[in-house]
Structure 1
Amino acid sequence: MRKSILTRLNNWIIFLLMTLVVVTIVVASTILINFLRKEEIKRVDILVSALKFQQEVTPSLEVQELILKIYSSNNTIPMIVLDRDDRPMVHKNIPKEIENDPVQITLLAKKMAKSYPPIEIKIPDGNNQFVYYDNSRLLNDLRYSPFLLGFFILCYFLFSFWFLRTIKKTDEGYLWAGLAKETAHQIGTPLSSMIGWMEIMKLDNPDSEGVYEMEKDIERLRTISERFSKIGSVPELNDMNFNETIVENYNYLKTRISKKINFSLHLPTYTILVPHNKILMSWVIENLVKNAVDAMKGEGILDMSVFERNKNILIEVKDSGSGMTKQQARNAFKPGYSTKKRGWGLGLSLARRVIHEYHKGDIKISQTEVGKGSTFRITIKKA
Structure 2
Amino acid sequence: MRKSILARFNNWFIFVLMTLVVAVIVVASTLFINYLKKEEIKRVDILVSALKFQQEVTPSLEVQELILKIYSSNTTIPMIVLDKQDRPMVHRNISKEIENDTAKITALAKKMAKSYPPIEIKVPDGNNQFVYYDNSKLLNTLQYYPYFLGLFILSYLLFTFWFLKTVKKTDEGYLWAGLAKETAHQIGTPLSSMIGWMEIMKLENPESEGVSEIEKDIERLKTISERFSKIGSVPELNDLNFNETIRENYDYLKSRISKKINFTLHLPTYNILVPHNRILMSWVIENLVKNAVDAMKGEGSILMSVFERNKNILIEVKDTGGGMTKRQAVNAFKPGYSTKKRGWGLGLSLAKRVVQEYHNGDIRISQTEPGKGTTFRIMIKKM
TM-score, normalised relative to structure 2: 0.97
**What does residue 171 of structure 2 align with?**
171
Matches within 5 A, 1:265-344: 265-344=265-344
Query: 1:222/1:39 Cα in 2 relative to 1: closer, same or farther (>3 Å)?
Result: same
Q: Give the distance between the partners of 2:128 and 2:308, measured in 1 at CA.
A: 83
**What does residue 3 of structure 1 align with?**
3
**What does residue 368 of structure 1 align with?**
368
Secondary structure in 1 matching 2:256: coil
**What is the identity, as a one-letter code, of the residue corresponding to 2:250?**
Y
**What does residue 101 of structure 1 align with?**
101
Matches within 5 A, 1:214-293: 214-293=214-293
1:253 to partner: Cα distance = 1.4
Secondary structure in 1 matching 2:28: helix
After TM superposition, the structure 1 stretch with the greater mean CA deviation from structure 2, 323-332 or 344-353, is 323-332
Name segments (4+ residues, structure 1) moved above 4 Å: none
Query: 1:86/1:307 Cα in 2 relative to 1: closer, same or farther (>3 Å)?
Result: farther
After TM superposition, the structure 1 stretch with the greater mean CA deviation from structure 2, 78-87 or 263-272, is 263-272
**What is the identity, as a one-letter code, of the residue corresponding to 2:182?**
E
After TM superposition, the structure 1 stretch with the greater mean CA deviation from structure 2, 131-140 or 307-316, is 307-316
1:273 to partner: Cα distance = 2.1
Q: Give the distance between the partners of 1:268 and 1:69, measured in 2 at CA.
A: 95
1:7 to partner: Cα distance = 1.1
Does 2:10 align with 1:35? no
Secondary structure in 2 matching 1:255: helix
Q: Give the distance between the partners of 2:285 and 2:132, measured in 1 at CA.
A: 77
Q: Give the distance between the partners of 1:227 and 1:252, measured in 2 at CA.
A: 16
Q: Give the distance between the partners of 1:211 and 1:19, measured in 2 at CA.
A: 66
1:94 to partner: Cα distance = 0.9
After TM superposition, the structure 1 stretch with the greater mean CA deviation from structure 2, 368-377 or 137-146, is 368-377
Matches within 5 A, 1:44-123: 44-123=44-123
**What is the identity, as a one-letter code, of the residue corresponding to 1:68?**
L
Q: Give the distance between the partners of 1:68 and 1:328, measured in 2 at CA.
A: 78
RMSD of aligned Cα (Å): 1.3
After TM superposition, the structure 1 stretch with the greater mean CA deviation from structure 2, 85-94 or 366-375, is 366-375
Q: Give the distance between the partners of 2:265 and 2:113, measured in 1 at CA.
A: 78
Secondary structure in 1 matching 2:374: strand
Give CA deviations for 1:304-326 in whole Å, capped at 9, x if unaligned.
22233333222222212111222
Secondary structure in 2 matching 1:322: coil
Q: Give the distance between the partners of 1:155 and 1:366, measured in 2 at CA.
A: 34
Give CA deviations for 1:156-199 in whole Å, capped at 9, x if unaligned.
11111111111111111111111111111111111111111111
Q: Give the distance between the partners of 1:265 and 1:109, measured in 2 at CA.
A: 83
1:35 to partner: Cα distance = 0.1
**What is the identity, as a one-letter code, of the residue corresponding to 1:316?**
E
Q: Give the distance between the partners of 1:320 and 1:114, measured in 2 at CA.
A: 71
**What is the identity, as a one-letter code, of the residue corresponding to 2:74?**
N
Q: Give the distance between the partners of 1:377 and 1:304, measured in 2 at CA.
A: 10
Matches within 5 A, 1:339-350: 339-350=339-350
Q: Give the distance between the partners of 1:49 and 1:188, measured in 2 at CA.
A: 95
**What is the identity, as a one-letter code, of the residue corresponding to 1:112?**
M
**What does residue 378 of structure 2 align with?**
378
Q: Give the distance between the partners of 2:369 and 2:179, measured in 1 at CA.
A: 33
**What does residue 148 of structure 1 align with?**
148
After TM superposition, the structure 1 stretch with the greater mean CA deviation from structure 2, 282-291 or 270-279, is 270-279
Q: Give the distance between the partners of 1:100 and 1:271, measured in 2 at CA.
A: 86
**What does residue 180 of structure 1 align with?**
180
Q: Give the distance between the partners of 2:262 and 2:36, measured in 1 at CA.
A: 77
After TM superposition, the structure 1 stretch with the greater mean CA deviation from structure 2, 338-347 or 73-82, is 338-347
1:381 to partner: Cα distance = 1.9
Q: Give the distance between the partners of 2:280 and 2:206, measured in 1 at CA.
A: 32
Secondary structure in 2 matching 1:41: helix
After TM superposition, the structure 1 stretch with the greater mean CA deviation from structure 2, 186-195 or 265-274, is 265-274
Query: 1:325/1:71 Cα in 2 relative to 1: closer, same or farther (>3 Å)?
Result: same
May I ask how many residue pairs the two structures share in their alignment? 383
TM-score, normalised relative to structure 1: 0.97
Q: Give the distance between the partners of 2:133 and 2:238, measured in 1 at CA.
A: 76
Give CA deviations for 1:203-253 in whole Å, capped at 9, x if unaligned.
111111111111111111111111111111111011112122112112221
**What does residue 14 of structure 2 align with?**
14
Secondary structure in 1 matching 2:337: coil
1:15 to partner: Cα distance = 0.8
Matches within 5 A, 1:126-137: 126-137=126-137
Q: Give the distance between the partners of 1:360 and 1:60, measured in 2 at CA.
A: 89
1:118 to partner: Cα distance = 0.7
